[in-house]
Structure 1
Amino acid sequence: MEWVDGLNLRQWLATKPHRRERLKVLRQLVDAIECLHSRQVVHRDLKPENVMITRNGHNVKLIDFGLADTDSYSDFKQPSGTKGYVSPEQRVERTTDCRNDIYSLGCIITDLRLGRLYNTLAQRCKAPLKQRLPSIAALKQLRKRKQRIRHAVTATVAAILLALAGWGVYLSQEDNGRPRFEQVAQFQVANIKYTSWGGLAASAQLAYAKEKNVVVPASVTHDGLTYLVSELGFNSFRHDTLLRKAVVMCEADTMNILAGAFKGCNNLKELYLISSKSVGIGSDIWKCPIDSLFDAHHYNDVTLYVPAAQLQLYRRSAWSKFKHIKPVVK
């Protein structure tokens, strides 16, 4: 008899081999059983102790054919097998069937601990006789089908996650300093471009930096809808070197001026903020310091005109950096 230099499967599993090696052992064991069954031989005593793993190459050797029989007759060897691995029907007198080995293989697959996919295969192998996988070929086919399903599900989930990640990146990117929220409306009146993100409120921004005097209205009508102008958008007048006078009207509850609004407006001399409440520097969502709106020379060169009722409020706020803050003269 051949001497097998190695460990039986139970001893080998105690060494905690890598999953890749356990899969290799299973593939070789399945091929060995398929070869037996193709010759109408049923092992009838498949268990870890009868599966040898060689030290050189970790190859499978199937041993102990003392209870083996053909699938056409049994020769006074029923009942037989090892507890925990023998099929229920093999414990009683019954003609030998290759499904006896498939049951035992299911028990060995469970011992190999290969994960959810193979646990499902093991359950099909250990099912009652009529529901059990009829052959090794059926086992291989089921494994391939489930692997294809798993790969398809994995690919679908990956595509969904990738799409969500891409959408998140898109939303987090900035377009002229503003995160790309969905625009409800965007239109232009004269040289001012208005953008609305809902609620009939609009953000104003110069379309072209070529104005000497600009009046931003309190409201603007487009397609039959009236939008309240509640914001000077990011970089709204930036680098308009011709700009000398800007008048900002407001009827909305709040008016906010966002970062970069007057940066690079080197000739700006007058800024009118006509609002019933103090105009905000930045907003609750996009906070920014006043220095992000204006250049340092603006605090000396620009006269800030505000409603008389708001004069002291401006002088006690961040707007106090302006040397010249005066009430609006009607």
Structure 2
Amino acid sequence: MMVEAPLFQRIILGLRPGAIDRDAVEVVAELAWLLGAVLQGIFVEDRAVSGIGALLEAREFQLIGRQWRPIEAERLAEDMQLAELSARRLLDRAAQRLGVASFFEVLHDEPMSSLPSLARPGDILAVVAPRDPHERLAPYYLEPALVPGFSATTIFVPRRIGRKRGPVLALVGTPQDKGLSVAAAVARAAEERLVILGPNDSGLREGILHAAKMVGGHWAKTEFVALERLDELAFLSAAEGVQERLIVLTRPPDNAHGDMDPFVIASMRQSPIILVGPTAAADALSRPPNAGDQTSRAAVSTREQSKWADP
């Protein structure tokens, strides 16, 4: 099933030539369906690549024949058009299979770091890890979801997805954490167990479980694991053996992640991460679930809709 009332309007997925991954697109489409959001694909033409053909001295090494040859601007343009068509088809197929509303847009001569400027309140920015981890260290690479001042909700998708089914794992500090409402809503929509890693405090534990139940309703299957510290080491240690399909974290108000690098955690756990912004889902905890849940019961189940729900 999907959420009864959408928590987000759009999921914006940036697509780059040569870095389009089918599994990642399908994971993001699945999350859009579960959250009741529109999937907005943004194909970003790399102006650095498109400008190479204009350089007279630009050359490429041809494996067949083992020789260098000039880079032709016309062929580069054709390759860019083919990459755009491939991205459009991939997005359309993933969205159509799930019944998700989707749109496709092309940004000409814009860097990937421009994507945050497109996010509006109620949007999620989805970022796929580069195929080469060392690319994040390159001078030209700027992680669009971690730029200073950016506070919108973000999905980090690792290159390798470890599981198609499993619990939703959330790191929660207080009952007011925005990530708690999102995690509970996704667990309810996916009919999965919600595993909460939270502080070793009985008062906070009861408050967190009550808040989760307010969102999850009668679908709630919640487990609470107490942590002495809410840091990366304690999180990874407690997560051993959970076999989650999704991790939900709350973005700190000052956007300072400390040692909690979402891409590193996503890669280590082989699970996508939703990093929930401070203004996301503001009314979710105050919106009680429909006890009858007639809309959700009438919806086609995740198992019937999506290959990611196959056991």
- For normalisation by structure 1, the TM-score amounts to 0.23
**Greater share of helix:** 2
- For normalisation by structure 2, the TM-score amounts to 0.24
Which is higher, the Rg of structure 1 or of structure 2? 1
Structure possessing the higher relative contact order (Cα contacts under 8 Å, 6 or more residues apart): 2
